[in-house]
């Protein structure tokens, strides 16, 4: 069948492919395009405005067909969403290797990318869209929760109760914000121009209510703030209009951020034209659309700076709004920091970051069992326990049941091996897929997000994600990917993805014992090399070898 159609991943214990190491990417590709998961599945767009799982429906079909015939010692190569070859490798090699959106330096611009995309030569893989490990909004939820929890610890006495967070964007990434804020007991006012996205977040239990007007939104937020009652309010409007209006009326926002699709100005809606006119302008004059989009971003960014000047905690959430506003001529765009250097980098120094897993059985009971195993494995981690309990209570699964938590170097392989043993003993109905977000400690070079303001000035050095992909390939990952762009746009980041499968075999255990050490270990050595004391301490304490320090000893 060619062209758009409903997609849903197979479930249960019956194999379609030669083994579970191949069945896993086969199912996860389909899971990425499940309508319960993907933002625009008919267009193969998973999230992020244009982040695709496959370049075309013909390419999608070819990838599935190839995996059903793939042998346990073969590897399928995927170039920007299209299968281009199969080679005999070995059982320790990845079953799939993917490269998405990668362009040579001087040609790494949106204009050149779009020209090549129009010719059918590439696609935008975003992060977990093009590497088939997206798990719905939950995938970014836990990292967003961690970020707001850190803000609560540093600024508001360990809780967001009695505070209001103003933010924009309720897409596949930004849609995690309201639930992350209310999980930390705060009030969230979330603005998105797309009514479908706002309503979808209510349907999936990430957003509590939709306001009927700006006045209604403000009234609900103020009442909840006064009562120290957690509440998330969605408002269908353009953030470039709403943020300045709220600033002018003295709206008491305690925290201000944004997760609109600002990384791509063609995905951000200008505020000076109607919805219909914007669609026509996008089709007929994209250059003018970009100009107006950037002007709108500058208005929103200026309002955020205004809130900062008024005393709010303001930060960039890694979507490149500041850079686009700067390109429009706004000279204070970078007056407020990115969230990574502001709140998360100490965790990255410990190799700590997102660890996600998916039950290939399709049975939520398998996730319940792995939740319990995670709590047993780390009984003294109060933050993990709080997160797991909140997630069980408040997170709705999208597509195959999944979970995510943050674990560090020395922890991830322990949980991976525990899952593998559970599969081996029949305590789970089918194997578990283990991956992560690409927003991780050692897998990204992104000067506007993960590597912003590195203390040694190495923000733009892209060797690290490439080494991450190489060492994970050598260590036994089931599939590995290298992407250009991610959540900040073409020319602004290089990042690598890794997925492994706990299928209950001894070989899987050997692979997990290596790849779930090398992957977070890259975060430790990357930050130790940059000179972060905490990363050096972790390396010394946990036996991570640093040759330059060994030479000095």
The pair of three-digit structure tokens given for residue 176, joined into one six-digit string? 């995690």
Alpha helices by DSSP H, listed for 403-531, are 412-424, 463-475, 506-530
Distance, in Å, from the CA atom of 172 to the CA atom of 122, rounded to the nearest integer, reads: 22
Q: Of the residues 190, 301, 349, 405, which is catalytic?
A: 405
Pairing of β 187-192 and β 209-210: unpaired
Q: Which of 220, 207, 213 is nearest to 181 (CA)?
A: 207
Nearest 10 degrees: Cα torsion 128, 132, 133, 139: 50
Distance, in Å, from the CA atom of 470 to the CA atom of 347, rounded to the nearest integer, reads: 23
Contact, 435 vs 498, CB < 8 A?
yes
Contacts of 23 (CB under 8 A, 6+ apart): 15, 16, 17, 360, 431
Helix (H, G, I), strand (E, B) or coil at 470: helix
Indicate if 221 belongs to the active site.
Answer: no
Q: Residue 435: what are its φ and ψ, rounded to 5°?
A: -145, -155
Distance, in Å, from the CA atom of 296 to the CA atom of 292, rounded to the nearest integer, reads: 6
The pair of three-digit structure tokens given for residue 327, joined into one six-digit string? 């390109």
Distance, in Å, from the CA atom of 463 to the CA atom of 431, rounded to the nearest integer, reads: 33
Contacts of 160 (CB under 8 A, 6+ apart): 148, 151, 152, 181, 184, 185, 186, 187, 255
Alpha helices by DSSP H, listed for 395-452, are 412-424
Active site residues: 405
């Amino acid at each position: 069948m060619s062209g758009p159609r409903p997609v849903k991943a197979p479930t249960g214990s019956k194999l379609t492919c030669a083994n579970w190491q191949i069945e896993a990417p086969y199912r996860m590709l389909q899971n990425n395009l499940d309508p319960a998961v993907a933002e625009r599945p008919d267009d193969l767009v998973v999230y992020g405005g244009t982040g695709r799982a496959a370049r075309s429906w013909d390419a999608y079909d070819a990838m599935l067909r190839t995996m059903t015939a793939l042998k346990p010692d073969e590897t399928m190569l995927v170039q920007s969403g299209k299968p281009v070859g199969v080679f005999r490798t070995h059982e320790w090699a990845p079953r799939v290797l993917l490269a998405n959106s990668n362009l040579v330096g001087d040609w790494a611009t949106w204009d050149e990318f779009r020209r090549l995309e129009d010719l059918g030569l590439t696609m935008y893989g975003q992060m977990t869209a093009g590497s088939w490990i997206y798990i719905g909004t939950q995938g970014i939820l836990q990292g967003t929760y961690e970020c707001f929890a850190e803000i609560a610890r540093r600024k508001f006495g360990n809780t967001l109760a009695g505070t209001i967070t103003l933010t924009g964007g309720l897409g596949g990434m930004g849609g995690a914000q309201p639930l992350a804020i209310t999980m930390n007991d705060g009030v969230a006012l979330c603005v998105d121009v797309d009514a479908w996205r706002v309503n979808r977040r209510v349907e999936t239990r990430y957003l509590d209510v939709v306001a009927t007007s700006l006045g209604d939104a403000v009234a609900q937020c103020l009442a909840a703030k006064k009562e120290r009652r957690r509440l998330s309010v969605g408002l269908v409007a353009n953030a470039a209009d709403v943020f300045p209006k709220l600033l002018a009326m003295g709206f008491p926002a305690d925290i201000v951020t944004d997760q609109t699709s600002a990384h791509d100005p063609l995905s951000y809606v200008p505020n000076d034209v109607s919805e219909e006119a914007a669609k026509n302008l996008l089709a007929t004059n994209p250059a003018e659309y970009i100009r107006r989009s950037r002007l709108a971003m500058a208005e929103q960014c200026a309002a955020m700076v205004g809130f900062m000047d008024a005393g709010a905690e303001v930060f960039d959430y890694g979507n490149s709004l500041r850079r686009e506003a700067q390109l429009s001529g706004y000279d204070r765009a970078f007056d407020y920091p990115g969230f990574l250097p502001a709140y998360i980098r100490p965790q990255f120094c410990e190799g700590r970051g997102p660890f996600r897993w998916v039950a290939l059985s399709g049975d939520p009971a398998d996730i319940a069992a792995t939740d319990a195993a995670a709590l047993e494995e780390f009984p003294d981690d109060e933050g993990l326990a709080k997160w797991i309990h909140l997630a069980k209570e408040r997170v709705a699964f999208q597509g195959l049941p999944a979970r995510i938590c943050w674990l560090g170097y020395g922890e991830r392989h322990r949980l991976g091996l525990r899952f593998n043993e559970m599969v081996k003993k029949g305590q789970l109905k089918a194997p578990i897929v283990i991956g992560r977000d690409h927003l991780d400690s050692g897998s990204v070079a992104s000067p506007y997000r993960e590597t912003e303001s590195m203390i040694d000035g190495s923000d733009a050095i892209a060797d690290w994600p490439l080494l991450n992909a190489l060492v994970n390939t050598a260590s036994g990952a089931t599939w590995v990917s290298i992407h250009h762009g991610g959540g900040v746009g073409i020319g602004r980041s290089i990042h690598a993805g890794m997925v492994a499968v706990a299928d209950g075999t001894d070989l899987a255990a050997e692979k997990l014992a290596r790849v779930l050490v090398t992957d977070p270990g890259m975060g430790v050595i990357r930050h130790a090399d940059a000179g972060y004391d905490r990363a050096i301490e972790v390396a010394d304490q946990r036996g991570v070898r640093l040759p330059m320090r060994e030479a000095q000893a």
